[in-house]
Structure 1
Amino acid sequence: MQSNSKSAMDGGFARLRRHLHFLYHSRARPARLFQTCVVTIDLLIIAFFIATPMIRDASAFLWYDYAIAIVLAVDLTCRGLAETDLKRWLRQPTVIVDIFILITLLFPAYLANLGFLRILRLWSLSRSGFLWRPLSKRQLARWQQPVQAVLNLVTFLFVATGFIYTFFFRFSPGFAGYIDALYFTVATVTTTGFGDITLPGPWGKLTAIVTMICGISLFVRLAQSIVRPNKVYFPCPRCALQMHDPDAVHCKACGEILAIPDDGNS
């Protein structure tokens, strides 16, 4: 009797994993609707992360923080159950970033100075396959790389702004401090350099140097994504190379046979 109960539980768990795999990885209409809801929730969470420095002193902030931690924990658990190779999935950089973000949400009092790194969730979202499935139509596929380059640039801008605000403008009154940090970041990344707002001391100068170098690199990457031939996002199952030519049959890194869906099957 006990063995039958255990078999039933194992069967139910296996069905749950198959259903989650369908929701997170299928291109069927119900799965697409689910994935759209996940992306929408992610965007709302990212908006909260961007606004965090300005609302951190609100009385309900910790409740919002822990509520988002629960949502992110559920999402990570479901994504893990949907994977066929859990160990390989846990080694992916996007998953590591999401786990780190979850830790900062669970311990906001101890990791407050690292809260600006939560905006890396935008980078993690941009690397998810189903974010780009609405762009898989022939007329939209060419926009995937430029949009991803823009998201990388936006992610960097807000990460840099959060870092600069946390360590240089934290004690400025209210909303003004964050705007000063954002203004300095944009002026530095674009090499405009008005000089009306500067960061004090050697660490301020080093921060400005790193911001300029990274910002210029991301701008160059954005230009390359527009000029270079189009590639598609399709992770290789063996070596995890992310981008391939649309008509690739083998992975150029490891030679693995690929099965990239063509436009007619999208």
Structure 2
Amino acid sequence: MTPEDSKPSSRQRALWRLRAQLRALYHGESPGAVRFRLAVIGVDLALIAFFIAAPFLRDTRAFLPLDLAVAAILAADMTARALAWRSLKSWIRRPIVMIDLFVLLTLLFPTIFINLAFLRVLRIWTLFHSDFFWETVGHRFDDTRWEDVIRAAATLVTFVFVATGFVYTIYVGDEGGVSGYIDALYFTVTSLTTTGYGDIILPGITGRLVSIVIMISGITLFVRFAQALFRPYKVRFTCQVCGLMRHEPDAVHCKACGALINIPNED
């Protein structure tokens, strides 16, 4: 092999330059990179709004073009993120990426995955649990009480819309009174809060099981949100001896093993 053969081709050099530029935009700290990431997050929020509004737009002529346009935007963003990541294999193995890939699949084949379209709102969870969001918008609240609160709230909201979409997809027009998306949302919220007015009831044994799952899961997530909001705040700092990650803000020793810890303080 000659030295000329070992040199990278023009395509390889172009790909390396592209990956370097994308890495600077998606992971850099320059003002331009921050503005770019803020724009990406704004697009993400617009996509989430579309997913929530999709049940109301499904019967309109504009729905399919919008659906394909959203698929193109999401595919472009995910491709750019993959190129900006250090390794494609490690990127694709991340749970958040797998969820986004599934969302993209429902967008690319809307007629095949029409009954699973309600799972697109999982994008709420992936956005607010991503390092991309916290390194850009939430960096001031990273590793604080508010990070826990926002993550718990995002999980609760995601569950509400996923459960609503499931009820709407499976039970709309069936016995029990679910005649539209608002009815499905109303049933989900009343079940989650255990109010249970009884004006909307899912039919059959399956309907009762679904109601039980919504009640138990919803209450669990709501309690988790309340704990994040009201429980005493603890600092995240890994003990080098036992690995305990949460400590009192003024802790000097690890309460699990008694080892001396040195928690950074901005004051």
Aligned mates of 2:111, 2:66 — CA distance in 1 = 14
Q: Between Structure 1 and Structure 2, which shows a larger proportion of helix residues?
A: 1
Secondary structure at 1:193 match in 2: coil
2:165 maps to a residue whose letter is G
| Post-superposition offset of 1:28 | 2.4
Equivalent in 229, 235, 248 of residue 233 of structure 2: 229
Give the structure 1 partner of residue 215 of structure 2. 212
Give the structure 2 partner of residue 164 of structure 1. 167
Secondary structure at 1:54 match in 2: helix
Output the TM-score relative to the length of structure 1.
Answer: 0.82
CA change 1:138–1:219 in 2 (3 A) is: closer
Give the structure 2 partner of residue 241 of structure 1. none
Equivalent in 140, 146, 151 of residue 148 of structure 1: 151
Choose between structure 1 and 2 for higher RCO, CA contacts under 8 A separated by at least 6 residues: 1
Aligned mates of 2:150, 2:85 — CA distance in 1 = 27
Aligned mates of 1:170, 1:13 — CA distance in 2 = 52
Give the structure 2 partner of residue 77 of structure 1. 79
Equivalent in 84, 95, 98 of residue 96 of structure 1: 98
Aligned mates of 2:47, 2:141 — CA distance in 1 = 30
Give the structure 2 partner of residue 30 of structure 1. 32
Give the % identical residues: 46
Give the structure 1 partner of residue 196 of structure 2. 193
Give the structure 2 partner of residue 180 of structure 1. 183
CA change 1:8–1:187 in 2 (3 A) is: same
Equivalent positions of 1:60-75 (< 5 A) are 60-75=62-77
Aligned mates of 1:80, 1:212 — CA distance in 2 = 38
| Post-superposition offset of 1:199 | 0.8
Equivalent positions of 1:4-15 (< 5 A) are 7-15=9-17
| Post-superposition offset of 1:205 | 0.5
Aligned mates of 2:73, 2:173 — CA distance in 1 = 28
Give the structure 2 partner of residue 240 of structure 1. none
CA change 1:161–1:176 in 2 (3 A) is: same
- My pick for the range that moved more, 106-115 or 217-226, is 217-226
1:154 maps to a residue whose letter is V
CA contact 1:123–1:155 (8 Å) conserved in 2: yes
Residues paired across the two proteins, number: 239
Which consecutive unaligned segments of at least 5 residues does structure 1 have? 232-244, 254-261
Equivalent in 92, 107, 119 of residue 109 of structure 2: 107
Give the structure 1 partner of residue 249 of structure 2. none
| Post-superposition offset of 1:88 | 1.3
Secondary structure at 1:27 match in 2: coil
| Post-superposition offset of 1:220 | 1.6
CA change 1:55–1:170 in 2 (3 A) is: farther
Whose Rg is larger? 2
Give the alignment's Cα RMSD to 1 decimal.
2.6
CA change 1:220–1:38 in 2 (3 A) is: same
Aligned mates of 1:139, 1:47 — CA distance in 2 = 25
Aligned mates of 1:149, 1:115 — CA distance in 2 = 23
